[in-house]
Every structure is written in structure tokens, then in C-alpha cells.
Amino acid sequence: MKRKLISVMLITAVTVVMAAGCGKNSGNSENSDSGSNSGGSSQEASGEGGGGTFVVPINTNSVASLTPYNVYGADDLLMASAPCFDPLYVVTKDETRWYLAESLEPTSDDGCHYEMKIRDDLTWHDGEKITADDVVYTVNVLLDKANTSDSSESVTYNGKTISAEAVDELTVAITLQEPFSAFESEFGRIQIFPEHVFDGNTTIKDDIENLNKSIGSGPFKLKEYNEGDSIVYERYDDYYRGKPSLDQVVIKLMPDQSAQEAALQNGEISMMRVTNQTKLEKYSSDDNYTVYNIPEARLNYLTFNYQSPLMKDMDARKAICLALNVDDIVTGAYGSEELAIPAKNFCSPQNLYFNDEMEGYKQDIEEAKKLAKKSGLTERPLHYIYFTARPNMKETAQIVQEQLKEIGVTVELEGLDGGEFFPHLFAAWITGETTEDTSWDLATNGMDQLNSDPATKMTSWRGELVQNGFYVSPETNELWDKASQALTEEDRETYYKELQVQMNEDYSLFPMANTNYVIVARKEFKGLDEILRVPIFEDYLKITME
């Protein structure tokens, strides 16, 4: 990491400047302390608003479990558990924010041994003390393949699992099988759960009664769960960082975007996300609402099916990359750089080691025409699939279709729901075996960059099964290994920046957009931009109602 993890007492507040605002309703509060240490004293962290209920919609109509043992990588499920379960700590490229943990230190020079201290003032919502045993228990639950068919990525790095042991009531010793640069950020985001509630049993997926008790560690505790409708949390007055300002947080299960907008306007929900320019301008000009712009750290990209004979030819992939104009794609599909910025490589600007010296691909129509003809791209239509439920993907596909016409390439578009799209995109990965799927050539998808270290994306680009579908060169594989296992910050930065260049030189994907998470909220709610991170609302102490 660019900043070594240190004791909570030594954390220095870092000011984070919010992304470009949205007119007169830009959420740049004068009193914002966006980069400050969230794990500070209760006096520093507690809000001073007047109670109230904050209602957050999520894009799903079901939650398999209220206890977050299988939510990693799913933004909506992480949002559902955030009021109730705190992380250990959160690493960004600028700072470390401490929650249940107060320090993490290496105990050897081999990059494989660490010791973590948790705070001494922690209690579960049932009043029981939170101890190191709960951390160890949670690690063992996440390692238990009986729960999710595979061990969690938060405790499995580059295919190798970790182990954890309680040294004393507040200290956990963690051992890795090999160095992994993203260990700190991956381990920190774990939301632990109570060993005593599950009687120490690590196979919990069928223990619905105890899962739905949702005995957590966060600022709000479960009041009621209305299946298919809402999760209601009430303030936990004994929260270790101080009493929250809000009385309640309600997670509203509402996948329909039109229903969300109607609910916002009638006061049923407190905020919603907007993903197009028309709605952004509508709410920016309405004094009843405030618009907040948060960098999402997500990459939306065009990928090539390496099982398609055409896509095995680098000239074909290069022709497509040179034919496309990323600025026009972002403007046409998103509307403005308030919603997304043109992407340069597989990382986002919020990642550690982001190579901001790269320019990305530059459109060259004449060279693209030559390569398209040479590689045979002009001889048959390309089949392009996209996920219909993901914002801006249809518009992106239509623009790509038009831009490739300019080099004589015909593209047929097919929008698919999630049940059809992902089994095509990740055919071998999902089935766990080599699966031939030549039914598509191109696809657009989004890659979340939840954590700060690029190594968290290794699972998307490493392994024989993944490489049956996506192209990963030997040079790229070598750099992944060097970067993810490097022991010094200097080496990590060098290798990761080289890796970003190498993947562009491979023409393994076309980076399209780094998206922003744009929120419109009812004006009485403040503090929604206090922490600029997705999934949103990492710290509910920051939100107040006036």
C-alpha cells in the first residue's frame, strides 16, 4: 500500500475532494471531513441531527441472509448489511479508516505473518463482548466451502487460503501461504459475526433462525425484516463510536427504477441513484433535492471472447480498439463526465498504483480498416451481448455498433438478462470446467474495484478456466505474479504500472468508462458524501436529518 497500515492513534486525516459537482445542488458541504478517521472518538464521529428515518432502496427483491457471510462482490447486499455490521477497517489509496480493528502489523519480513488488534470497547447488539475469537470464527466460516461452495475471496488469495488464531482476547495472528499485496485491503473489509450465536458451528448457511437474528456490531440493530419488502434497523445506543443521529435506517427492497423514482417523490424513500443525464439535470435544478457525485471505482469495459476464432487474432482485437472512440462512447451512453469518465486501462483512478501517465487507446480509423480486412473481421457479423439490467450498457452497445460500421464491421446486438448473460461471459468460470461457447464475440460488462489494490481483480484475469474465455498473455501472467507477491511498495507500484501498460498492449479488453455513483437525496438529509466510496454509506454516523 502507499500508506503502511498503522495504529489508529497515528492515523492522519486526509482531505478528499469530491468529484465535479452538479450545479447548485452539488453536495459539497462546508463542514465535510470526507477523509477523516472514521474510527475516532464518539465525539468526533457522532452526528448532531434530530433523529429521523433514512430509507435506502436496493436493486433486489430478496435477501438470502441478513448475516453477511456471502455478500462480497454484491453491492446491494453489502448495502443491506452495512448499518448493522461494521468492517474491521477500510483501506483506500489515501488512508486507512479503522472500525472494529485498531491496528494491523506485519510480524515477519516474509509478507506472510500479521497481527491484528481489535478495540476493547466492542459489543454485539445482544450485549456480549466482541473478541478475537469472533474474528477467528468468522474467518473459519468464510473458509468453510459448505456455505458458498467455495471459500470467500476475503480469506483466499490467488487460490491459497489463510489461517487465523486468537493470541489473546483482543489479538489475532494471521498467516498467509504466500505474500499477497491485497491482503490488507481484502481482510479489512470482512464483516465479522458472533461465534456465540452459532455455537461455534462454521457451517451456517442452513441455520436460518440464527442468520436472521442478525446480531451485529454496527450503529444500528435489526428491528424487523419484512420479507420481499424491507429491513428495518433501529439505533444501537451502546455503539462503540457513539450514538447515531438517525433513529432508524430502512433498507427498501425495490429493484424497479420507476418505482424508486415515484417513491422518492412521495417521500417513501430518502435517496436513489441516477444513471442518465436527463434525470441528473432534472434533480440538479430542483431545490427539494441534493445531488451527490461519488467516484464508483468501477470499470465498464468491452471484452473479446477468446474462444471465438476471430478474437484469437490480435489484429482483430487491435482493429476494434483502434476503431472505437472512448470519448464519444462516454458522451453518448452516459451523457457527461459527471456520470462517467473515459477509462484508460483495467484499473480505476481510485486504485492504488493507478497509472495516470497512460493515455489509453487512440482512435485510428485508417489503421483499423487495414487490420479489420487483414484479420477477416469484415467477412462475417460479430455477435455482441450485453446485460440489460446494467445501466448504460444498451446505449454503449449501440454506439460501438455504429463506430465499427466505419471500418466495415457488422455487429449484431443481443441484450440478455443476468441468468443468460453471465453463463455466456464466464462460461468456464461458472461451470468449473472447460466449456466451449463460441456463440458470441464481443460483450460489455462492469468490473467493480471495491478495494484499493489491483490484486483483488486477479480472479477476473487469472487461472486456466478464465483464460479459456479471456486472453491473458504470458507477459501479463508474469507481471500479475510479480506485482501481487512483491514485498515493497516500490516494487508493487512498478509492476502494477507495467501490468496496466502490458494489458493494453495485449488488446485483451477495451476500457470504456470509470463510472460515478450519482445520488439524488431529499434535501433534509445531510452527510451522504462524507465518505466517497462505493458501496455507499460506509459510516452511518455521518448521515443526519435536519
For the stretch 485-535, pLDDT in tens is 999 999 999 999 999 999 999 999 999 999 999 999 999 999 999 999 989
Query: Which pLDDT belongs to residue 7?
Result: 34
- Name the pTM for this structure: 0.86
Mean pLDDT of the chain: 87
Round to whole Å and give the CA distance between 538 and 525: 16
**Structural domains for the chain:** 8-288+523-545 (3.40.190.10), 295-517 (3.10.105.10)
276-307 pLDDT, tens digit per residue, is 999 999 999 999 999 999 998 899 999 999 88
Q: Are 245 and 49 in contact (CB under 8 A)?
A: yes
Can you tell me the distance from the alpha carbon of 445 to that of 387, in angstroms, rounded to the nearest whole number?
A: 7
Q: Which helix (H) or strand (E) holds 265?
A: helix 257-265
pLDDT score of 1: 41
Alpha helices per DSSP H over 144-218 = 145-148, 183-188, 208-211
Amino acid 88: pLDDT = 98
Single-letter amino acid, residue 250: V
∠ CA 67-537-161, rounded to 5°: 50
Residues 6+ apart with CB under 8 A from 478: none
